[in-house]
Structure 1
Amino acid sequence: MGRKMEWAGKANHLGGLPRKTVIMAVGAFAKAVAVLLNSTSVQNADSLLNLVRSRPPGVPLITVSNHMSTLDDPVMWGFKGFPTCNADLQRWVLAAEDICFKNTVLSYFFRLGKCIPITRGGGIYQEHMTEALELLNSGEWLHTFPQGKVYQEDEPIGRLKWGTASLIARAPVTPIVLPIIHHGFEKVMPEKYLFGRRPPIPLWNKNIKIIVGEPIEFNISELKQTAIFKSRNSSASSNEGWPPFGPLDEAAQRCLYIDISERIRCVMEKLRVSVMKSKV
């Protein structure tokens, strides 16, 4: 548990130089994989670029995407015209603790790369979800993979984890939520390539397709009232021991997070179908 290194994730750590160095190096790698080694096309890139560069002050941004490989982040930000090497504009991202924070060196590296450790199966009220909320409260950009793990099959988007929905609902200022769907990373970094393992380096000459959707609007106060009404008329029991969230008990919170997650899932699925239709 001593590898969380919140201090290394601070912008002023050693004057910000280590963070800038890591972001620039990783950004250059992402550009090389996305632009030089492979062919990447992005539809509606301006929606993302505008929100990253010039959204209203204090308004947080949450981008959500499908998860097709261990390279999705950072390579999905490596497309031409994106400020991949700018440490101030670069996203924060929820990252699997068991992969990215296995030892001190990895923990330090990923902290500098603006990653927040998340324990899979640890629930939506685990320690570092509070850290993510604090970043949203500061108007930061956070990227999440609400599927929770890599899916490389061309299958419909299934039920999403509730962590992203809980962040959207609990953020003091409701974030702008921007959906992104991509295809092709499963060919750049296939899970089962050599003897059932990933290749040692990214593959090349592949086509990567990214579609940026339009922001999803959420009227959180209205959704909360609906959730309270639904929970009172539901026989489902809740026993996770969640703390109250304003007037919402655990049952109402479940209804709220299910509703938000399903809205995101539906939008992501429509984008996924659109990507598959336009696939070369």
Structure 2
Amino acid sequence: MFYRPSDDFAIWASVSRAARTPSRFARTAQFEVFFIPPNTADNPSPLPVFPVLTPNPDLPSERLTAFEAGLRFSVVQGWDLDLASYYNRYKRVVSPTPTSSQLLFAPGIPFPLAVEQQTQLKGRGRLQTWGIEALVTGQIAPWWRVKASYSHFNFDLAQDPLSNRPFYLVLSPENSPRHQAALTNDVEIASNWQLTAKLRYVDEVGNGSAGSYLSGDFRLAYDFGNGAEFAVNGEGLFEPKRIEFPPSELPTVRSFVSRSVSAELRYRF
């Protein structure tokens, strides 16, 4: 639904449904994932646990029902404000689920050394997400345009009746930042020179395993006027490197995003 009673005011709303078909990997994969150390929050027993992922050819499609609404209006001449909100309801979300377990012994040792846990990906998870987004755009001067944005994300995981804890999902919503903000300035320095400077804030993710950060980016471009353009770009200028995503539970090398400065030459025809 979209309604625009005047040139400087509009309101909209929508309801939609979507389905995500499981991949061939999700339905047929079989391998040992990792081990869970003993006496930890995920494994309070005195023995290490070795989960083994087994195929689930009957894994169903995930379902989403999405509700969205927003409005846009002119605050003052040359300045616009966009507000949007959303609420998403997910069902049949893929969740690793233990199906059976057995004790592991070694020759000559009378007591068990570990537990092997058979696990399948099952569409049991339920999840709700919601949030808001705001965007302000305006013209400070004929040669200076500004854009400011903010978004907030939140979620609620349903309780897993098997563990009396929130569902454990393959793709955790904790890996999405709760708060994000950005300020962008587009400045025409001269008739052929264009400068874009951007300041971004991203909140921590993964329960703090990847911290929040403030990033400064810029792009300085010169237009030759015949379809050719030369530009210098800088990204992540405030620190040498940073982690943007939490480390994987698998034994992988941590991935960093480094500060970068680059130059480019374009020709359009």
Q: TM-score, normalised by structure 2?
A: 0.22
Higher relative contact order structure (alpha carbons within 8 Å, sequence separation ≥ 6): 1
Q: Larger Cα Rg: Structure 1 or Structure 2?
A: 2
